[in-house]
């Protein structure tokens, strides 16, 4: 469920409590809970009576939830109405019915889940799932607004087909998105207020309508950086070449194809950004002539000769415009043994604060891989080697450095 390049580890040792209420969408939450437990979180849960019509408490016990609560008047757990799980860091209501939302909004405490929610004084996340007519009902909308006003975080449902056969808004949010919202809710927001601009993925330089010049960049490193910065509270904008990486909707993504488009889109947003991280694998050259029709092979006598011209250097341009309040980080993918020296030279030439350099002809490093092995070099030439680790961990460390500055 969780892409390897986004496998952050902050949830390890954290305690998460789930309230399951009466919705068929419960089955999606099972995978979410499994993934949290697999990654070192302790998960507990409580079920409403309606939830138990859909699924048994044993299902959650078998997944590893501990405790699994459903009886308000249990003799073994006298105060379970006050204590969801074991002092959880966060309380997640997913799926949340219109009924539980109404109860939270009005302070109704007439069963285990609603009393636990009333007594809980840390962060609550609510992920509604219901029929679109129930979701759009003014009562529900008003109750959701009340929850928001109380500081409860809403993970808004999606629009599309719902289980009862109707179409509309009310489908439980994407489970991967809920996973990351839980992470974000427990991660310190040490990048709150920062505006981060990221370039990522390859560019494509077309020379006829069906053929282009490019490179194997997957965008995974850029996605890891973007999600890490968002998880830590930053407002993130990505200027992305063609990739199929996953990004949450809260991150603004501007899709581009060519280096020139990437240049224009990045440049126009630089003035309003505090941090620029340029990890796109930009094609340095583009075919000089773009044929409007497909080049027919019979029109080529023996070899096809294409003339290339230089693309603008986005990183150098941003470095040139950089103010003292801005931080600029570049990447350097090299195949040469003296890649560190080449990277240091790039810091100076492009006026950077840091460069992240890697040798891309090593196994499982760089283009397309889920792992990376890099050295991070600052503008004074200080080198910090990062051994081979997941791109998510590399991203986290890069942001640690930026935050210490």
Write the Ramachandran bin of 359: left for phi over 0, alpha for psi from -120 to 50, otherwise beta. Answer: beta
Q: Is 164 a catalytic residue?
A: yes
Residues numbered 141-200 forming contacts with ligand CTP, rule: CB under 6 A? 199
Four-CA torsion 169, 134, 107, 146, nearest 10 degrees? 50
Number of residues that bind ligand CTP (CB under 6 A): 16
Contact 252, 179 (CB under 8 A): no
Tell me: does residue 284 bind ligand CTP (CB under 6 A). Answer: yes
Tell me: does residue 314 bind ligand CTP (CB under 6 A). Answer: yes
Q: Which stretch binds ligand CTP (CB under 6 A): 26-34, 132-140, 223-231, 277-285?
A: 277-285
Q: Which of 259, 328, 376, 399 binds ligand CTP (CB under 6 A)?
A: 259
CA gap 389, 180 in Å, rounded: 20
The beta-strand segments (E) located in 129-191 are 153-154, 158-161, 167-171
Sign of CA dihedral 385, 389, 395, 399: negative
Taking the least distance from each CB to ligand CTP, the nearer of 113 and 278 is: 278
Of 153, 161, 20, give the one whose Cα is nearest residue 96.
20
H helix intervals, 287-390: 314-321, 339-350
Taking the least distance from each CB to ligand CTP, the nearer of 88 and 222 is: 222
Contact 118, 94 (CB under 8 A): no
Taking the least distance from each CB to ligand CTP, the nearer of 63 and 329 is: 329
**C-alpha pair distances (Å), 222 with each of 80, 149, 208:** 44, 34, 28
Residues numbered 326-355 forming contacts with ligand CTP, rule: CB under 6 A? 330-333, 346
Tell me: does residue 275 bind ligand CTP (CB under 6 A). Answer: no
Please state the closest distance from residue 237 (CB atom) to ligand CTP, in A. 15
Q: Which of 32, 100, 147, 278 binds ligand CTP (CB under 6 A)?
A: 278
Taking the least distance from each CB to ligand CTP, the nearer of 22 and 330 is: 330
By beta-carbon distance, which residue lies closest to ligand CTP? 314
Q: 308-310 and 285-287 as β-strands: parallel, antiparallel, unpaired?
A: antiparallel
Please state the closest distance from residue 206 (CB atom) to ligand CTP, in A. 16
Q: Which stretch binds ligand CTP (CB under 6 A): 11-19, 45-53, 278-286, 377-385?
A: 278-286
Taking the least distance from each CB to ligand CTP, the nearer of 332 and 402 is: 332
Q: Which of 42, 59, 311, 372 binds ligand CTP (CB under 6 A)?
A: 311
Please state the closest distance from residue 339 (CB atom) to ligand CTP, in A. 9
Structure tokens at 3: 């892409």
Q: 235-240 and 195-200 as β-strands: parallel, antiparallel, unpaired?
A: parallel
Please give the full DSSP string across 252-275, using - where no structure is assigned. EEEE--SHHHHHHHHHHHHTT-SE
Q: Which of 45, 65, 164, 279 is catalytic?
A: 164
Please state the closest distance from residue 331 (CB atom) to ligand CTP, in A. 4
Taking the least distance from each CB to ligand CTP, the nearer of 113 and 282 is: 282
Sign of CA dihedral 7, 12, 15, 20: positive
Question: Which residues bind to ligand CTP, rule: CB under 6 A?
Answer: 199, 259, 278-280, 282, 284, 311, 313-315, 330-333, 346
Report, as residue numbers or ranges, the catalytic residues: 164
């Amino acid at each position: 469920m969780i892409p390897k390049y986004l496998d952050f580890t902050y949830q390890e040792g954290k305690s998460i409590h789930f309230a399951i209420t009466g919705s068929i969408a419960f089955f999606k939450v099972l995978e979410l809970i499994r993934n949290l437990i697999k990654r070192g979180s302790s998960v507990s849960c409580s079920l409403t009576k309606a939830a138990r019509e859909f699924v048994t408490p044993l299902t959650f016990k078998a997944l590893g939830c501990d405790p699994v609560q459903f009886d308000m008047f249990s003799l073994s757990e006298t105060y379970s109405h006050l204590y969801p799980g074991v002092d959880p860091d966060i309380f997640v209501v997913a799926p949340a019915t219109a009924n539980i939302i109404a109860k939270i909004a009005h302070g109704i405490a007439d069963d285990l889940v609603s009393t636990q929610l009333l007594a809980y004084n840390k962060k609550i996340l609510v992920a509604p799932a219901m029929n679109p007519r129930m979701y759009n009902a003014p009562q529900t909308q008003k109750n959701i607004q009340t929850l928001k006003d109380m500081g409860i975080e809403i993970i808004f449902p999606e629009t599309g087909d719902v289980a009862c056969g109707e179409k509309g808004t009310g489908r439980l949010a994407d489970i991967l998105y809920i996973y990351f919202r839980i992470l974000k809710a427990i991660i310190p927001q040490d990048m709150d207020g920062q505006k981060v601009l990221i370039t990522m993925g390859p560019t494509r330089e077309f020379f006829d309508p069906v053929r282009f010049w490019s490179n194997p960049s997957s965008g995974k490193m850029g996605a890891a950086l973007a999600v890490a910065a968002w998880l830590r509270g930053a407002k993130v904008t990505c200027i992305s070449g063609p990739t199929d990486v996953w990004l949450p909707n809260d991150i603004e993504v501007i899709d581009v194809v060519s280096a020139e488009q990437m240049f224009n889109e990045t440049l126009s947003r630089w003035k309003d950004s505090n941090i620029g991280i340029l990890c796109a694998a930009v094609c340095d050259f583009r075919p000089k002539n773009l044929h409007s029709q497909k080049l027919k092979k019979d029109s080529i006598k023996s070899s096809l000769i294409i003339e290339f011209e230089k693309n603008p250097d986005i990183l150098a341009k941003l470095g040139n415009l950089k103010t003292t309040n801005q931080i600029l980080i570049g990447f350097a993918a090299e195949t040469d043994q003296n890649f560190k020296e080449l990277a240091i030279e790039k810091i100076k030439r492009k006026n950077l604060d840091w460069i992240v350099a890697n040798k891309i002809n090593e196994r499982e490093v760089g283009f397309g891989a889920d792992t990376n092995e890099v050295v991070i070099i600052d503008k004074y030439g200080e080198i910090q080697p990062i051994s081979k680790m997941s791109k998510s961990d590399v991203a986290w460390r890069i942001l640690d450095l930026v935050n210490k500055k």
